[in-house]
Amino acid sequence: MGYTFGVGREAPGFSLEDQDGNAITLRQYRGDWMPVIAFFPNGARETAKQIGALSAAAGQLWGMRGQLVGIVAAGADAVTKLAAEAGGAAFPLIADPDAKVARAYSAWSAAKKTVVPLVCIVDKSGKIVWAGEGAAALKPAALLEAFKLSAR
């Protein structure tokens, strides 16, 4: 996972709604929590499985002062359906209907017209300290290890 886009730079801010209609912003985590932002492709067969697997890791991240936040380039109805297919999500799953946030983080593939799986860990000051691209970055063990290294 040698993906380095944005490492060291300020994480792009966002304000979107999660699967329960709650407003989620990057700013709400600044200073106390380290958000782990995961971008998921909508409609991919593996997405619901990845969300389910990461739900267990979300609790472990929480214990280390990390907050997993999932972003899907789809409307609220599609995100609600995706969360149901995953058996629920133990972390905020956010609708990004115009893929504006995905584009800001370079998680959008214009050629494929979909999100490329991407995870960014943001430190307490708002800077990206780790980024991983592809399905391997969404594996719970890899994500937890990256977080432990980044939180030092």
Pairing label, strands 108-109, 114-115: antiparallel
* Cα angle value 74/76/79 (rounded, 5°): 65
Location of structure tokens 């430190």: 123
Let me know if residue 7 belongs to a domain. no
Phi-psi category of 97—alpha, beta or left, where left has phi over 0 and alpha has psi -120 to 50?
Answer: alpha
Report which DSSP code applies to 69. Answer: E
Instruction: Extract the tokens encoding 145.
Output: 């290890």
Let me know if residue 51 belongs to a domain. yes
What are the C-alpha distances in Å from 62 to residues 66, 69, 79, 119, 141? 5, 11, 22, 16, 15
Let me know if residue 8 belongs to a domain. no
How many residues are present in the chain?
152
Taking only the tens place, the pLDDT of each residue in 6-44 is 889 999 999 998 878 889 999 998 888 899 999 998 877
| CATH code where residue 93 lies | 3.40.30.10
Taking only the tens place, the pLDDT of each residue in 126-143 is 999 999 998 888 999 999
What is the mean pLDDT of the segment spanning 56-66?
A: 91
Q: How far apart are CA 7 and CA 134, in angstroms?
A: 16
Domain extent at residue 102: 15-150
Let me know if residue 21 belongs to a domain. yes
Let me know if residue 5 belongs to a domain. no
Let me know if residue 55 belongs to a domain. yes
